Structures are given as structure tokens and as C-alpha cells.
Structure 1
Amino acid sequence: MKLSSMDASPRLLGLVWPFIAVVLAQALVASLSLYTLSAVRAYVGGESQWSKGQKHAIYFLSLYAGTGSEEFFSEYRGAIAVPLADRSARLALEQPEPDTNAARTGFLQGRNHPDDVTGMIWLFQNFRGFSYLDAAIRHWTAADTMILAIQQLGDAMHETLGKGPVSTAEISAWKAEIHRLDHQITPLSKAFSDSLGEGSRFIKMLLTFANLVTAALLILLAVWRTRKLLAQRQAFQLALNAERERAQITLASIGQAVISTGADGRLDYMNAVAERLLACPLSAARGKPIEWLFRLVDKDTSVEDVRLIERLLAGEPRRSSARPQLLQRPDGSVVPVALTGAPLLVSGHVVGAVLAFHDMTREEDYIE
């Protein structure tokens, strides 16, 4: 009986589903690893922009204190806007109901790449309590306090300088305060960067370990599944060999000559009766075309049946006729026989043919 695709698909799925599950798990872990490392890398890049903005703000604010130039103040405002934007993004994510839209706007204004923003928000929301990231955010929060102090100082300086000239002592006090704030914020910025670096290395090690574990699981599953399939195959082979032996014993014990061919029309098997009938041993006949072993000729018309095997392999059975035929052997001798033939089907496909001959010599002698 032919197996349909509907029958074969569940069997195939039953064999391969463990591999599919582990491969999908491996792919999921690998994708999560890449996404997490990409998000951490984005924070490292964002910290670089934050530090650059903070340093430029200190630098231009110091120049503004000494010159009162609006150009320097404008540069200072542009520089400090970067850490202030990152601060607004952090505050939006720390709310009881995180405002991801405000956070996205803040990170974009903080000069983070648009493709990195989604990962940065995801990492903050899902790993906020993770030790390394938590330490980095605490340093970030402390540094933002200094950023606000710098902003307040810059606004106060701008307001004072807008009213007119200021004394040298006041300018010196501003510069001293700028230096103090810079001295306090620099270690916080470094600690923030170091925490991100440690966290990145730890996450990389953790995710590498997870990938190795899933890979080892896949190998173990493949070994287990392969051993199971080999055991099943061995059991099937033993059962098939036993069935073949029983079939050969059965064929050897019956009184008719039985031969079988492959799909190419060459002899594959014949029992002992067929060896005697054809006057040819199986070892010499195996693999030979049927036409080489015998010819069938109608006794009355002397017409040779040249398409016998062709019709059987096409799926057309041959029923025994009441009138015997003459089987002509390779040595030229003939034997009257009654022939029955049928195509050999496996899963609905013709894989060969089976022919059964009954020696009619005794019957013909009786008739004579």
C-alpha cells in the first residue's frame, strides 16, 4: 500500500522534532546573545557620547567664564544637551509606567544611533536589576547630579554676564567651581564606563557558556537519537532477514518453479525447482536478463511471447492459460509449462516481477 505525504509527514516529524527543538533553542540563544551584546555595545557607545558632551561642556563653559563670548556659551549649551538628553531618557524609563517614547526621544537627542535605541530600552527594562548594569546606572545617576550642577552654574553665569561686566574675583570663583565639578564628575564617568565594560565581558562569558551548553545538548541528542535509530534499523534488518529466510524456505518447499526479477527485468532469485527446470544454478543466473534464461513459445502457433516481462513490470498480471506453453532453455531443450506471473509491488510501486512455472511434462505424457 502506498504511503501518502499525509502519512509520511508525521513519521518524519516524529524522527526529527528533537533536533528541530534543540536547533531552535540554539538559534534563540545565539540571537539573544547577539542582541544583548549589541545593546551593551550601544550603551558603551552612548557613554562615549555622554563623556564627550560633558567634557566639551566643561571646556566651553570655562572659556565662556573667561571671555563672556556668546559663541562659547552656545557651544557649551550644545555640548551639555547630550548628557541632559540621556538623563531624560533614563528618567522616562525609571517611571512606574516607563515612557518608551520619551526615552527613545532622549536617546536620539543624546546622539545614539537610531538602530541602537530599541536595544538600549530593552536592556534597561529587562536587566535593570542586574548587578553590573545596576552599578553602571547608579554611577550614571550620580554623574547626572553633577551635570545638573554644571547646568545651574552655566545659567547663573549667563544671567550675571548678561547684566554687565563682572569682577575678576567672581570669574576666578566660577572657574574654580567649574574645576571642582569637573574633578568630581570625571571619576563617576570612568566608573560608569568600567561597570559597562565588566558587564559586557560577564554577559559575553555567560552567553558563550549558554551557547556551549546548547551545542553540547544538541550533540548528546544527536548521539542518542542516532543510536536509537541504528538499534531500530538493526531490529528491522533482523526481522527482514528472518522473513526472507522463511520466504525462501517456503519457496524451496513448494513443487512449482518460482523466480523473481528486479525492476530492470534481471533475475534476482529462483528456488531449487526453478534451477532444475531451467537447468541453471542461481549463482550463474543471478543478474542475467530473463530473456537469457528462457523463452516462452506457444505450443500450437510457435509464436514467442517476447513482451512477458515488459507487461509484468508495467503492472499487468499474467494468468495461467489452459493450454501449456513451451519453455525453451539456453541449451535449446524445451519443457511444457503452465505459467503464472504477477508484478511485485512495494508501497504501490512495481519493483520487479514474480513468475511461477508448473512443469506439465507428466500431464503431457498422460495425454499422449
Structure 2
Amino acid sequence: MPLAYALAAVIGLILALTWGALQLQVALAGFLNGESVWSKAQKQAVIDLDAYAFDGDASHLASFRRNYTVLQSDRWARDAIAGGHFDKGEVTQAFRRGDVIPSAIPGMIFMLQYFPDAPYMGEAMSAWRSVDDALVELDAIATKLQYAHAHGQVSTQESIHWRERIQALNNFIEPRANSFSVQIAQGAAWLGRVLFGGVLATACLASLLWLRMARRILTSIRGTEERYRLLFDSAADAIVMVDENSGRILDANRTAATWTGRESHELVGQSFADLFARGSARLVGTSVVSTLQGLHGQTKPVETHSSLATWGAQSVRQAIIRDISERIVIEQERRIAAEALASVAEGVVIADAERKAITVNAAYTRLTGYTLQALQYQRIDDMRRLPDGRPLPESVWSAIAEGGNWFGEVQSRRIDGSTYPEWLSISAIRNSEGEVLYYVAVFTDITATKTDRQRLEYLATHDALTGLSNRAEFQRQCTRAIEAAAKAHGAVAVLFVDLDAFKVVNDSYSHAIGDRLLVEVAERISRELRENDVAGRIGGDEFTVLLSGLRTREEAGYFANRLLASVAEPLRLSDYEITLSASIGIAGYPLDGNDPIALIANADAAMYAAKTEERNTFRFYTPMMHADARKRLLLGADLRQALARDEFYLVYQPSIELRSGRVVAVEALLRWRHPTRGELLPDEFIPLAESLGLIRRIDSWTMQNVREQIRRWDLARLPPLRVAMNVSASTFGHPSFVDDVKQAVQTNGLPAKQLLIEITESAILRLGEDTERTMHALHALGIGVAIDDFGTGYSSLAYLKLSAVDYFKIDRSFVSGLPGEGNDVAIVEAMLAIAKSLGIGTIAEGIETKAQHDFLLRAGCGEGQGYLYARPLAASEIERMLLTPNARPGATRLRLVPPE
């Protein structure tokens, strides 16, 4: 290949020189052509100017100008090149105007630029430049003659003068032009001889160099072949050359012959595949592992590496066969040891006597991220510290060197810089003289164990949802604070915090939102704490706060105000914005108790007082609060027995048509006949029933009694009345509510239009999507719904679109100010306008004066209830009123007309 490349280079050089010579010849031809054109133009210019001087014919002047332009173009191009700074395009165009052969122009520019003083070229250029002034003078004569002919007749004497001068200039120019032509021709001949000699000499020199290199390469090839044969036969591995196409052996070294039990020439021509046991070959990486068979049945595990080469036009595969018997034994032993090491679940590192790692198992790499390469030049104790941060002491290694081992907890570092707790056990491997050769370190990650222990400890003292202290931990912290306050003669305050209407959030948005709300409230409480204060959650939506280091318990009021403001800020949870408030009770040491249990109980009593009286406020504990709490507990116990003892009963308040005074409906109202406290109104026990989970049982009792009362009135053949009954939010939203109503209507044959369900506006808003489902079901049964306390809600009025809504009950808080209060007037008129546009009936509650009655009648209200007409009556009084048309319950001045 080097010889081929060199020969190609010689031929390429000769061709390049020949091409260069041709280009120079073309350039010289261009010079000769240009000289011919220039000489003709010069001669013709003289002839034309002489004729113009003789006869003044303008055509002779035009011909002179054309020929002079050719002379000037060549002269300008020559001078531009000689100046060294020229535009090649402009020079080329100038030569083209001088009628120079286009292909010769680049060569002419090259020679004029770089070889203006070459033999013959210098003399030619001197002759060319010597006529420049004469040519300029000829142009000046032409200009003067043109001027003379333009302004009058040139005299014969003047014509003779100018012709004599033109002839004199021609005599000066002509020999020099001839000299320029001769020099150019001689230069062309000389340059041709030089070029031929140069090409010939170069070709001879290149051929000699090629022959010399060929001789050296051939000598080197012969030496290489000898060395190759020597290495080929002396190689420890068997080497076989195989024809790629036929698979036959072309050559084999001495080792291959020895292993197969044949001579090298005997292997030539045999199939290479026949050297190996059939089916024993398998690919391992880029090599093939198989079993080599000898002539007499002996076998040898071998590994074959092959590569493709070319011998002339023949593709040959070189196969290097290596005996791997010893390696297989070593690998088997190593595999057993490695599998044993890898199967260990703990991380294992084997280090040398200098404690530098030489082997690590996969468990250690998974645990720390360190591979063996990453551990190079590092000692196993460089990445470990005792739990307190101190390095492993030398006593560890001294104890191991003396024949023992060491184990204990350390802090270890991973490859990413993070640390983790580790149980470390180190032992040593010694030689026969007892010297330490290797250290074996076994590692166990105890992060999970420690985390579990810490988690259990944390859960034992903290609330799992909010992370605040639980009841037991809070009491322990409170005990320490009381002891410290007793020594310092200070005070401690315990705040009992309860969220207002938290159950509404749970029922309206889901328990998941409720849990997130509790977490957010816990964070807000924690933000308000000082360094030594403690917050806890003791259940549900109840939190406690311990304020220590106070002088008096009244200082806790400032904290309570800040906390109320913080809790009252709107919370953004998912797609909901929720606004809450809290009620706080405060009890302090030493005024309100000497132990945590007493302080928490008293703070709870104060909280209940705050919630009962106002909400979104705080109260300090007073002894009277416990009496109220005990009273509430007793009432709760009595309430659980009230149903069993049949202590509930119903009264009915008439609802009249304002326009006619006709009784059109009654509202069933619940009363509790307490054995010791007398008659109790719903406001006194319904909230308690809801908190104790008894409200659904009470609603069920009410539904059953309303149904039976309607049936009794129907049996007594009283005019049919619409009977309204109140239902709590939890009952209205319960999945079985619709089924219960359906059964009550269908079992007794009760006309659906005769029953009206009343539910408060706030309850509808709490129920959310459950409202729509229940409303549609009631509408399908033909049962209407009245929105009680309409106008007191605080959210969307989208529920007004639901089909089952038949009536608005305008709350008494808006009716009481009529007709004197302007705001009440505007609100009531707006409610009536909404109802009218939606086709919904209206019932005003709490009408007590004739003026209120008259205003509502004029405003378009349909029905009304209130003491102006009748107080709530027993069922028997309703019967008597309906049977006695002139009866006038109470002191009303309006006549109630029974229904037809």
C-alpha cells in the first residue's frame, strides 16, 4: 500500500507539473495574442489619425478612438498589476476589452504580478512602457484636431504639420512595438524549454525515490515474514488461519499441532469446526468457549478469539485458541466464594492490613452506593464515626490485632454525602504467624430500627395527625411547668381551644378536608407559641395550650386574642375557602387548680361557657362554670331517657293566608316535658341532641307522630291541612331518609301534598351535593320542601333552582323590624321578589302586630305565622278551631277562617 500511494503521488506530481506548464503556455499565448492585437491597434490608430488630419472625416476619428481604447485598456491593466493593489475583476474586464484570449487572462495576471522581471519578460515590458508618452501625445493631437475641425477649416499648412508629427511618433513607436513582439516570442520559447526540463527532472527524481522506497519495503516485508513465522510457531496459544469462505485450515502453528496430536501440515485443509467437540461451543462476550479434541480423545477447555484479515484477494480468519483449564478451576472457586459473599444480606468489606478495601459485596454497594473502584485509596474507618462524631479510636484496631473482634454502633457516610446509623462488626484474618493480613467488616443498616423506635417514642407522646403533644405528654409538660412556677412563685395558664362548627365542615366537605383543616389550625397555634409554650390535641377538634412563665393567668388573654385572630383567617384547602372561629377557655395555676387534670377540666368548662354565650371569644374559668357543665351533663343523661319515657310531645302553630285569614297549614313543633324542669323548648335541647347523636331518633319520632296525627284528623273528617315538620341536617342528608318518608306516605295512604318538610337554609348549605339528591327524590314523591330561616344563610343560592323547593319561610329577625326599619323593608321586599320570580310560596314567621300583617299583605307575602294569629296549640285545640269557624285563639283581632 505505501508503494501504491507513492506511485500515485509521483503520477499526480507529474500531471500537476504538466498542467502548470500548459497554463503558462496558455498565458504566453495570451501575451502573444495581446501583443498582436496591441500592435495592430497601434498601427491602425496612427493610420486613422493621419487620415483624419488630412481630410477631417469623423469616421477616421471614431476608428482612432476605438483602437486607442484598446491600447489604453491594456496599459491600464498593466499599470494596475504593477502597482500591487488592484481589483482582479476590473483587470480581467480591461484585458477582455483589449481582445485578449479569456482563458489566458489569469495566467497573464499571474506572470505580470509575480514575474515581471523574468528573462525576456523584463525587456518586453520596458519596450511596452517606452511608448506610453508617444501614445498619449497621439491622443492629444486627436483632441486638438477635433477642436480645430469643429471651429473652422484646417489649413493645408496645419494639416501637413500635424501629419509630419504623427509620422514622427509612429517612427518612434514602431521599432519598440516590434521589439516587444520579439521579446515575447523569445520568452515563450525559453520558458517552454525550462518547463520541459523541469518536468523531466522532477519525473526522474520522483521515480528514483519510488524505486528506492520499493526496495526498502520489500526488504522489510521479508524480515517481517521471518519474524512473524518465528512468533507464530513459538506462541503459547494455538493459532490457526482459516479460509473464511470454506472454513478450511490454511495454516496452524506448532502449539495447535501439539494440542491436537497432529503435524502442522496435517492440519492444513481440514475443517476448522472438526477440531472441537460438537455442541460444546458457547459465546462469552466477544470470544467462544468450547472443548478442543485431540487425535487420541483427549480434551481441553479452550477460549477462541478470532479476527478477519485479507491475504491478497482471500478473506482469512485468524483464530487464537487459549487453554483455560486453570482459569476455569480458579473461576469456579472464586464463584463459590463470591456467591457466598453476595448472598449475605449485610454489607461486607474485606480490607488489607492497612484497612484499605479490596473487596465489597453487592449489599454494601446497595447500602452505601460505594463500589470497589470508588473505595480505592480509602480506609474503611475513614467513612465512619462514633455516634457522637468522634473517629473510631485506635483501641478498636488494637483489640482486633490482639485476637478479638469489635462490634458497636457507628455513623456511616454514603457516596452522596448522607449519613446513616450502622451496626459494625470487625474481625481479622491472620497468617500462620498471627499477623493480620485482612480485616473483614460486616455492616448492618439500623436506620429503620432506630426510626421505628423513635417513631414509637414520638407516637407515644404526640398526636399522629397534627404532630402536637397528646393528652399524656401535655399533662407531663403541664406538671413540669407547675413545679417550675411553684418554685418561682409564678403562674401557668392552660387554654382549652375548641373549633366552632367544625362538624359542619366534616359533614359538608368530607373528613379528608376536615383533617387538613385540623393540621392547618395546629400549625397556626404552633406559630403563636413562645419558646417554652406547649400545644396539644386531646381529641377531635379540641386543642390545649400550655403557657408557662406568667406572672398572672390574665396574661393569657393577650395570647388568646392573637390565637382567635389567627384561627379566624380564611383557609384555602383544595378548591374551598373556609372561615372558622374558635371558643377558648382559660384556667390558671395556682388560682384554678394545682394539677394538670384540674386545669384542663376547668379550662374545658370555661370553653363551653364561651361557646354557649358568644363563640369566637375566650372566657376565664369561674367556679359557676362547673355547675353549668354538670347541669349540661345531667340534661344529656335525661335526654337519652326522654324517648323511652315518652316525655316529648308536639304542638301545632297555624299558618294563615294573609289575604283571606284562612288557616291553610300548621307547623308541628317539638316540646319536651321534663320531669323536674318542666316544659323545655327545642333551643334548649336540640343542639345537645345533635352533639350526642340523638337527633335522628328524635326526627324519626316526630315523623311518626305527625303521620299519626294527620291520619287521626282525616278519620275525624276535618278539613285537610298541610302539616309542616322540621328536619335536622343529619337526618335530611342520611341515605335512608327518603325511604323513611316514602314508607310513611305509602303505608298510611297519606296524600303527599299534605306533608311539608322544613329544613334550615344553613343545613342545606352544609349538606352540599346530598341536598340535590334528596330534593329530587322528594319531588318525585310529590312532597314539598320549605326553606326555614330564609335569608340567614351565608353562601350560594344555587339550591333555589331545585324542583322540590315550594316555600320560603322569612325569618322572624327580618319581620320584627317591619315596617319601620328601612333595611328590613328592603330585604323582605327582595326576598318576596325572588320568590315571585321563581314561583315559590312565602311564609312570614313571627308576625305580632297588625302593621306587620298589613305590610306583608301589601308586599305580596302569601302566608304568615305569629302570635298575632295564634300561639302553638295542642292537636285538640286545632280540631276545635277548625270545627268552630268563629273561634279566635289568643287575643288576635284578626278572624281565622277554617279551611273548607
* TM band (smaller chain): 0.5 to 0.7
CA distance in 1, matches of 2:204, 2:59: 62
Partner of 1:52: 40
Matched, 1:167 2:155: yes
Q: Which of residues 276, 288, 311 is equivalent to 1:316?
A: 288
Of 222-231 and 109-118, more deviation after overlay is shown by 109-118
1:226-241 aligned at under 5 Å gives the runs 226-241=214-229
CA distance in 1, matches of 2:4, 2:240: 36
Q: What TM-score does the superposition give when structure 1 sets the normalisation length?
A: 0.66
- CA 259–242 in structure 1, closer or farther in 2 if over 3 Å, else same: closer
List per-residue Cα deviations over 1:36-63 (Å, max 9, x = no partner).
3333332222212211211221222232
1:57-206 aligned at under 5 Å gives the runs 57-95=45-83, 98-100=85-87, 103=91, 106-112=94-100, 116-206=104-194
- CA 223–205 in structure 1, closer or farther in 2 if over 3 Å, else same: same
Q: What TM-score does the superposition give when structure 2 sets the normalisation length?
A: 0.30
- CA 237–54 in structure 1, closer or farther in 2 if over 3 Å, else same: same
- CA 286–91 in structure 1, closer or farther in 2 if over 3 Å, else same: closer
1:20-59 aligned at under 5 Å gives the runs 29-30=17-18, 32-59=20-47
- CA 315–179 in structure 1, closer or farther in 2 if over 3 Å, else same: same
Shift of 1:136: 0.4
1:208-227 aligned at under 5 Å gives the runs 208-227=196-215
Q: Which of residues 255, 258, 266 is equivalent to 2:248?
A: 266
Shift of 1:229: 0.8
1:280-359 aligned at under 5 Å gives the runs 286-289=268-271, 306-307=278-279, 315-319=287-291, 336-343=297-304, 345-346=306-307, 350-352=317-319
- CA 307–262 in structure 1, closer or farther in 2 if over 3 Å, else same: farther
CA distance in 2, matches of 1:86, 1:273: 88
- CA 46–282 in structure 1, closer or farther in 2 if over 3 Å, else same: closer
CA distance in 1, matches of 2:281, 2:193: 69
CA distance in 1, matches of 2:300, 2:259: 14
List per-residue Cα deviations over 1:326-363 (Å, max 9, x = no partner).
x8x9xxxxx5533445436357995347699xxxxxxx
Gaps of 5+ in 2: 310-315, 324-900
Q: Give the aligned residue type for 2:187.
A: G
Partner of 2:400: none
CA distance in 1, matches of 2:193, 2:40: 29
CA distance in 1, matches of 2:180, 2:12: 36
- CA 70–131 in structure 1, closer or farther in 2 if over 3 Å, else same: same
List per-residue Cα deviations over 1:205-239 (Å, max 9, x = no partner).
22222222222222122112111111110111122
Q: Give the aligned residue type for 1:138.
A: S
- CA 99–339 in structure 1, closer or farther in 2 if over 3 Å, else same: closer
The answer on whether the counterparts of 1:61 and 1:73 sit within 8 Å (CA) in structure 2 is: yes
The answer on whether the counterparts of 1:341 and 1:353 sit within 8 Å (CA) in structure 2 is: no
Shift of 1:287: 1.2
Shift of 1:262: 2.2
Q: Give the aligned residue type for 1:86.
A: D
Secondary structure of 2:131's partner? Answer: helix
CA distance in 2, matches of 1:62, 1:226: 72
Secondary structure of 2:100's partner? Answer: coil
CA distance in 1, matches of 2:159, 2:117: 44
CA distance in 2, matches of 1:42, 1:345: 65
- CA 266–120 in structure 1, closer or farther in 2 if over 3 Å, else same: closer
Secondary structure of 2:304's partner? Answer: strand
Secondary structure of 1:45's partner? Answer: helix
Secondary structure of 1:160's partner? Answer: helix
Shift of 1:129: 1.9
Secondary structure of 2:318's partner? Answer: strand
Secondary structure of 1:351's partner? Answer: strand
The answer on whether the counterparts of 2:33 and 2:101 sit within 8 Å (CA) in structure 1 is: no
The answer on whether the counterparts of 2:307 and 2:319 sit within 8 Å (CA) in structure 1 is: no
CA distance in 1, matches of 2:240, 2:69: 90
List per-residue Cα deviations over 1:149-193 (Å, max 9, x = no partner).
322332232233233223334434443443343333222212111
Shift of 1:138: 0.8
- CA 236–165 in structure 1, closer or farther in 2 if over 3 Å, else same: same
The answer on whether the counterparts of 1:83 and 1:144 sit within 8 Å (CA) in structure 2 is: no
CA distance in 2, matches of 1:43, 1:241: 66
CA distance in 1, matches of 2:212, 2:240: 39
- CA 261–347 in structure 1, closer or farther in 2 if over 3 Å, else same: closer
CA distance in 2, matches of 1:94, 1:260: 73
The answer on whether the counterparts of 2:281 and 2:289 sit within 8 Å (CA) in structure 1 is: no
The answer on whether the counterparts of 2:26 and 2:103 sit within 8 Å (CA) in structure 1 is: no
Secondary structure of 2:120's partner? Answer: helix
CA distance in 1, matches of 2:155, 2:28: 47
The answer on whether the counterparts of 1:261 and 1:354 sit within 8 Å (CA) in structure 2 is: no
List per-residue Cα deviations over 1:67-120 (Å, max 9, x = no partner).
21112211111111211232233333444x544567556434434356544443
The answer on whether the counterparts of 1:65 and 1:171 sit within 8 Å (CA) in structure 2 is: yes
Matched, 1:242 2:230: yes
Give percent identity, aligned residues only: 22
- CA 212–310 in structure 1, closer or farther in 2 if over 3 Å, else same: farther
Secondary structure of 1:317's partner? Answer: strand
- Higher-Rg structure is 2
Secondary structure of 2:206's partner? Answer: helix
Q: Give the aligned residue type for 2:37.
A: Q
Partner of 1:364: none
CA distance in 2, matches of 1:241, 1:68: 100
Q: Give the number of equivalent residue pairs.
A: 310
Q: Give the aligned residue type for 1:185.
A: I
The answer on whether the counterparts of 1:317 and 1:343 sit within 8 Å (CA) in structure 2 is: yes
Gaps of 5+ in 1: 1-11, 252-257, 297-304, 330-334, 357-368
Which structure exhibits the higher relative contact order, with contacts defined as CA atoms closer than 8 Å and separated by 6 or more residues?
A: 1
CA distance in 1, matches of 2:259, 2:122: 89
Secondary structure of 1:44's partner? Answer: helix
